[in-house]
Amino acid sequence: MQPNNTLSLVRAYLNSRDVTLFAKDAEFRFMSQSEPLRGREAIDAILSLLFEEMFSDVRLEPSNFLATEESAVAEFVFHGVNTGPLMGLPPTGKRVVVPMVAVYEVSSSHISGVRLYFDGCSMRRQLGLATAPW
């Protein structure tokens, strides 16, 4: 794919969160976790949990993109309100604003892999689940 096509695919995903834009055997890795999620169904399940159960009023605010023929990097801010259980804890009702960076691998007009980086400590502090600044 041309860099513009790679970028268009990633932007389409960020705008729609349509998991059909992922390859059937795609991998999604939260870099704070040891194992990636494998397969479109597993990715759909975790994204549904994140965007529909753990958080409501979710908005992704993209700020920077960089793309090549086979990958794209997106910097964005995640906005949401914690309205569902998170890591076994009850919902806090608090709003979070968390900067994130995702590296998307693209193959055959589909997203084949994602590596998502974010500051989990900052998110926990905003939710009132942690107090130390480090």
Q: DSSP letter string over 60-121?
A: EEEEEEEE-SSEEEEEEEEEEEE-S-BTTBPP---EEEEEEEEEEEEETTEEEEEEEEE-HH
Locate the domains of the chain by residue range. 3-125
The two structure tokens encoding residue 69: 């023929």
Q: What is the mean pLDDT of the chain?
A: 92
pLDDT at 132 > cutoff 70: no
The predicted-structure confidence for 52-99, as pLDDT tens digits, reads as follows 999 999 999 999 999 999 999 999 999 999 999 988 889 999 999 999
Tell which CATH architecture fits domain 3-125: Roll (3.10)
The pLDDT of residue 3 is 76
CA 72, distance to chain mean position in Å, is: 14
Read off the pLDDT of each residue in 21-35 and give the average, rounded to a whole number. 94
Is this prediction's pTM over 0.85?
A: yes
